[in-house]
Amino acid sequence: MIRAGNALEALIAGLRGGPIATPDVRAVIALANHTLLTPALFSSLARTGEIDRLPQDAREYLSFIHESNRQRNLRLRAQLNEAVAALNRCGITPVLLKGAVPLFLSPVDRLPSRMASDLDVSVEAADELRARACLERLGYVQVTGARGMARPQDVGILELRQSRAGGFETPNLVERNGLLAKIPSVQSRALHWILHDLLKEGDYWRGRIDLRHLHDLAELAEAEGVDWKALRASLPDQTARNALDAQLLALHQFFDIRIPAEWARRPIVRLQHWRRVFTAKHPVMGAPLRLAGNVAWGVRRVSRGDGLTRRRPVDLARRIVRTLFDLDIRAKV
């Protein structure tokens, strides 16, 4: 069995289309499964021909997962197009978010390899009730205990939310096959992933890395280009800028994305980057650092309120335990 750090390095090499230089391919695939990057790994290795250097059982497994995800994405795209068409008929042009964007924009014969668990769509606050009624006529019902609507025949939940002011730029109106949707700019999409992971979910304090979203950022930067300086200038405070710099340093180290060099030299950014990478590569030795980060995140949430005081004592205690011991880590490392 190889160390977690070696598996992480081998997975990143594979995502960049390079050889997986380890005899324990299963550990690399297990990490790809955990981080929801298995289809992306297959695509990258197939593009460069490195897939042929893997053992047959590994090739067959990766191919099976990739094809299964492709079929699921076909169904997700059909579901998304149906929802957009229904909203258009109701006079609503939705804003597509996160994984819904590449599903909507990709050519008919070329689907993204990204794994998606739901479809994120937003509408103006004034249109929300009308949008929900429109989707309910398609058979959608609110999912109990979750933020989203679903139907038995679909493979993903549709999350309908209100559009928020303060985005980086006004979304662009895009037409595809007679359907109208608004697509956030590349800067807005990058900003959303960074703020969601590092600030909203606390990865900056907790020392965690959402490798799938980091890979999304790398693909976004390579395909469309991101104006990091303009994005950084839009951030509200120094904490947010520190979080951005730490994420960009990880983006540079893992995927060789060019970033402004001066941001990577600041001591606090280098310290935060080292802590995140060290705990990902050495989960046992890094456990005290992760625990300290979880405590810091918990204290910050309590000090800011964040709705914790409105929870029942049992629910609050359960949430504290899940936070302290990383029981909510999901697909992160």
Residue 132, pLDDT score: 96
Residue 166, pLDDT score: 55
Q: Which two tokens stand for residue 278?
A: 């060290």
Q: Which residues in 315-333 are b (16+ Cβ under 10 Å) and which e?
A: eeeebbeebeebeeeeebb
Residue 210, pLDDT score: 96
Residue 255, pLDDT score: 97
3-state secondary structure of 19: coil
Residue that the structure tokens 């460069």 belong to:
48
Q: Pick from 77, 244, 56: which is nearest to 158 by CA?
A: 77
Residue 84, pLDDT score: 98
3-state secondary structure of 58: helix
Residue 1, pLDDT score: 53
Report yes or no: 122 and 97 within 8 Å, Cβ to Cβ: yes
Dump the DSSP string for 119-179: EEEEE-GGGHHHHHHHHHTTT-EEPTTSSSEE-TT-SSEEEEEE--S--SSPPEEEEETTE
Ranges of CATH 3.30.460.40 domains, the chain: 77-184
Residue 165, pLDDT score: 64
Residue 3, pLDDT score: 76
Residue 56, pLDDT score: 97
Q: Which residues pair with 158 in a beta bridge?
A: 119, 149
- Class for the domain spanning 77-184: alpha beta
d(CA 126, CA 23): 57
Which are the contacts of 115, defined by CB distance < 8 A and separation ≥ 6?
36, 37, 38, 39, 40, 69, 212
Can you say how many angstroms the Cα of residue 107 is from the centroid of all Cα atoms in its chain? Answer: 22
d(CA 233, CA 302): 28
Q: Pick from 161, 159, 88: which is nearest to 123 by CA?
A: 161
Residue 108, pLDDT score: 76
Q: Pick from 79, 77, 55, 59: which is nearest to 67 by CA?
A: 59
pTM value?
0.92
Q: Burial-class residue 261 by CB neighbours within 10 Å (0-12, 13-18, 19+).
A: exposed
Query: Hey, how many other C-beta atoms are within 10 angstroms of the C-beta on 104?
Result: 20
Report yes or no: 167 and 183 within 8 Å, Cβ to Cβ: no
Report yes or no: 262 and 270 within 8 Å, Cβ to Cβ: no
d(CA 298, CA 193): 21
- Each of the 333 residues of the chain gets a pLDDT tens digit; together they read 567 889 999 999 999 999 998 889 999 999 999 999 999 999 999 999 999 999 999 999 999 999 999 999 999 999 999 999 999 999 999 999 999 999 999 987 788 999 988 999 999 999 999 999 999 999 999 998 778 999 999 999 999 999 876 556 789 999 999 999 999 999 999 999 999 999 999 999 999 999 999 999 999 999 999 999 999 998 989 999 999 999 999 999 999 999 998 888 899 999 999 999 999 999 999 999 999 998 988 888 877 766 555 566 776 677 777 777 777 788 899
